[in-house]
Structure 1
Amino acid sequence: MNIHLPVLAVLALLTSVPCTVQASASADGRATAGAGNESEPTARLRVLAEQGDAKAQNALGVSYSRGTGVAEDHALAVQWFRKAAEQNYALAQYNLADSYYTGSGIAKDPALAISWYRKAAEQGYAPAQFNLGTAYYDGLGIPKDLALAARWFRKAADQGYAKAQFNLGNSYSNGSGLPKDPAQAIQWYRKAAEQGFAAAQSNLGFAYYNGLGVPQNRVHAIPWFQKAADQGYANAQYNLADGYFNGYGVSRDLAQAARWYRKAAEQGLPQAQYRLGLMYAKGEGVPKDNPQAVKWYRKAANQGDADAQVTLGAIYSMGGSLPQDFAQAFHWFRKAAEQGAMQAEYILGDRYHNGIGVTQNSAQAAHWYRKAAVQGHASAQFMLGTMYAKGDGVPRNLTQAIQWIRKAAAQGDDSAINLLAKVAEK
């Protein structure tokens, strides 16, 4: 979970509106200098700030941070935030904390950022409570403590702060700092979702789609996916596409599935890139186009999607859409196998066993067959059994051989069943 640090500050005299402080542009240390070329409202604001008015000091800091009515100067922004923060003005404490966190106008210092977030949080300022909770969750500038993270998320969530409601929902969903409670997770996701928070809308849809904390109802899931997808939330776009592809909760519509997979894929979601590749390969919802399929497989594979890596390896093995290249095939199979993809582990065992795209190596073959066999791959179990029977790549061990061949036979592997039948006849 990434920390989100929007700066809420006063842009005009005594008026609070959102603002984001940019990276430091000046190291000027003057607290009251820089009045040249400033607007008349800023000049009036400065008078109040120099008289010690905390709200005006914070507002002047925001003016400097944004270059609104005065030349942009982040170091001066920090000085005005500090003046107001030292008067216990929560909004300025938050802005000063944000400056320390981002290194805007002052040296980056996560520990000092946490100190100022805490001061604002203890005054009940919800964004500071959220950021303090996030710091505890991630261990940023403070020792990681999931229970304290949940405590601060709750304080902000109880004030209606959508990001905190979402994170509190996650805490309940994952059992992070709180007892795992899917029903409570749903309650908080719903609160954030009803405020339009896309990630919560997506998670609420996912809960309905899969029956997590609520009775499964895919018809209810689709509108929540749609709400988040319309805001550009990639996971929701993918899930909405999945609904259209399978006809779950909505009429099956392959063109709509392809449309939403594409939206998520163009945002870089690897599983969407892979699914879009499959649709191009099969001509489902889009005209069949093998080069486009390969393009999307490669994008997903380069991001570590194991299914795409296996598929790309298979294409290189067979040739056609790409020139046949066993070394490239082996490269992609290995990447997937190293992620624990069972089929890739089996294929890698086969490649080592037969020396396809790599130097033959029975010990490595047995190593990869074993990984797939332990995950329940029947063909890998059979091959590992035969290697034990022959002492090929492993010490000969008939007990192990029979054990693995029986496992394969129990799953219906024909080679294993036939071999056991022949042994029984003898």
Structure 2
Amino acid sequence: MPGDEEYDAKECFEKGKAYRKGDGVEQSDKEVFKWFKLAADLEDTNAQFILGRMYEDGRDVEQSYAEAVKWYRLATNWGDVRAQYYLGKMYEDGRGVKQSNIEATMWFKLAADQGCVDAQYRLGKMYEDGRGVEQSDAKAVKWFKLAADRGCVDAQYRLGMMYYFGRGVNRSDKEAIKWFKLAADQGCVDAQYDLGGMYEDGRGVEQSYEEAIKWYRLAADQGNANAQYDLGGMYEDGRGVEQSDAKAVKWFKLAADQGNVTAQLCLSFMYYEGRGVEQSDAKAVKWFKLAADQGCVNTQYIPGEMYEDGRGVEQSKKEAFKWIKLVANKGIANAQYDLGGMYEDGRGVEQSYEEAIKWYRLAADQGYKRAQYHLGWMYENGDGVEQSYEEASKWFRMVADQGDSDAQYRLGKMCEDGRGVEQSYEEAIKWYRLAADRGNHDAQYRLGEMYEDGRGVEQSYEEAIKWYRLVAGYGDVNTSCFFSDPYKDSELSDEEAVKRYGFEAWNKLAYLKSLGSMYEDDTDIDQSDE
């Protein structure tokens, strides 16, 4: 007891307050602690609670969670609701005591029953998560509602989420909007972001990009990465704002710097395409790799392509192989196909037909057409595998059944020649016609020959001329994939193919004319080109 004077608990508490505020005395942290401690020792509940807070936060005294727990517990002996709540938090977090959700829930319940708003919210969270109590959405909603009605912003947001997902209540977008709005108006960043999403999609409210922008911006200005990303997307698309790639980049960058993987991916494409920023392969690679390092499978594939081509990075087939294999191992079909190509050609890895076939098959088994077609090509030509027309026809048929004109042509040729399938001009005609109708000039040329010779069809110079014309230049030659395998580098350029096969078709037309067949009235043929 200071000096020879005696003080009661209330006087000691008031002196502590005076020294804290500097009210009539010089402010002194040392004196603050001394007088609150005296009051607490005299069983002043307020002083015990404040002493607990001082020890918890390390204010005016060396921080000690154990001492904080001690003083909170003493205050709870007198039913202090604040101490009950804070003691519950210490148990929840395991600070100064052994972590115990059961103990935390007990203290939150005692405080909540006395009307402590924060305790009501925390108790709702315990029921929502099933920590220390049996999980119950209905009870969570009960406690959230009690706290929300008294203005607890966190409870308002959680109650909105319960209505949004229909947990413990009937699902209602309108109720979700109501509670999100209350929380958002109090500055709750998560509520602002979710409210933006509701306005963007028109859920529970009339759809409005302008309102979505308003709420996204409020959340973004508080540093919410998801809101920053979505705001960037709105500027990129010009939804609710004037389209601006530059502003899209600004918001993508803010979100990307916080590790938002989708924003990193978008930012990489902006640099890759030079939209809103100066084009930079190097910066595109940087952001692609950051997204890839977070497990974004789609992005992991892109650095592989850039390393292979030497765009933005020093060309390295080995690095390209590393990135593409990373994606292929996750079951992505196009990466498995490309990995097969790297093994087949020995790009960035030791050449291995066995490994190539393995990866082509993995992609093909997922229905990837390019891999299926390429396997057919390899088996037809004995390229890296034992030649097998049966296997070739199997893979070509898979792709042909999906409407691919090149596979339809290859299958038609195998039917015509009787390789891997029973020889049948009729089947050959069927597949040639399907391919020809899709603009495949290879098939159109073969159809011309079949009609000219009367194989699989009734002989008809008129039909032969029709198909030869398409190849010779009467059809849409320039926009076709002309006599080329789109899944394998062609030995002929499109221009060379047009010249080569176009001339062959013209020769056929000239030959038919020399026979005097079908040409008496055919004035469409330019004589000079014969």
TM above 0.5:
yes
The letter for the 1-side match of 2:435 is: W
1:415 Cα deviation from its structure 2 partner = 0.9
1:132 Cα deviation from its structure 2 partner = 3.9
1:113-156 Cα distance to aligned partner (Å, 9 max, x none) = 45544544454433233334445556667787666555543443
1:206 aligns with 2:269: yes
In structure 2, the residue matched to 1:347 is 407
The letter for the 1-side match of 2:139 is: L
In structure 1, the residue matched to 2:308 is 245
Distance 1:15 1:173, change over 3 A: farther
The letter for the 2-side match of 1:408 is: V
Distance 1:399 1:194, change over 3 A: same
Distance 1:275 1:139 in 2: 42
Please report the TM-score for the alignment, with normalisation by the length of structure 2: 0.60
1:162 Cα deviation from its structure 2 partner = 0.9
Give runs of aligned pairs for residues 274-353 of structure 1, distance below 5 A. Answer: 274-303=337-366, 305-315=368-378, 317-318=380-381, 321=385, 324-334=390-400, 337-338=402-403, 344-352=404-412
In structure 2, the residue matched to 1:58 is 121
The letter for the 1-side match of 2:140 is: A
1:58-109 Cα distance to aligned partner (Å, 9 max, x none) = 2212122333344443332232223333344332233233334445445555
Distance 1:176 1:295, change over 3 A: farther
Distance 1:264 1:396, change over 3 A: same
Distance 1:321 1:302 in 2: 18
Q: Which of 81, 96, 114 is the aligned partner of 2:144?
A: 81
More displaced 10-residue stretch of structure 1: 294-303 or 186-195: 294-303
1:368 aligns with 2:419: no
The letter for the 1-side match of 2:253 is: R
More displaced 10-residue stretch of structure 1: 166-175 or 221-230: 166-175
CA contact (8 A) 2:376 2:393 kept: no
Distance 2:178 2:444 in 1: 57
1:190 Cα deviation from its structure 2 partner = 0.8
Distance 1:401 1:74, change over 3 A: same
The letter for the 2-side match of 1:187 is: K
Distance 1:81 1:282 in 2: 63
Give runs of aligned pairs for residues 375-394 of structure 1, distance below 5 A. Answer: 379=442
Distance 2:358 2:239 in 1: 39
In structure 2, the residue matched to 1:22 is none
The answer for unaligned runs of 5 or more in structure 1 is 1-11, 17-36, 339-343
Q: Which of 484, 506, 520 is the aligned partner of 1:420?
A: 506
Distance 1:205 1:78 in 2: 42
What secondary structure is seen at the aligned counterpart in 2 of 1:212? coil
Distance 1:382 1:365, change over 3 A: closer
CA contact (8 A) 2:377 2:392 kept: no
1:192 Cα deviation from its structure 2 partner = 0.7
The letter for the 2-side match of 1:95 is: R
Distance 1:409 1:99, change over 3 A: closer
The letter for the 1-side match of 2:119 is: A
Higher alpha-carbon Rg = 2
1:56 Cα deviation from its structure 2 partner = 2.5
1:263 aligns with 2:326: yes
What secondary structure is seen at the aligned counterpart in 2 of 1:250? coil
The answer for unaligned runs of 5 or more in structure 2 is 1-84, 90-99, 480-493, 511-526
Give runs of aligned pairs for residues 125-136 of structure 1, distance below 5 A. Answer: 125-135=188-198
What secondary structure is seen at the aligned counterpart in 1 of 2:312? coil
Distance 1:416 1:85, change over 3 A: farther
Distance 1:45 1:135, change over 3 A: same
1:201 Cα deviation from its structure 2 partner = 1.7
1:327 Cα deviation from its structure 2 partner = 5.0
In structure 2, the residue matched to 1:34 is none
Distance 1:400 1:418, change over 3 A: closer
More displaced 10-residue stretch of structure 1: 182-191 or 300-309: 300-309
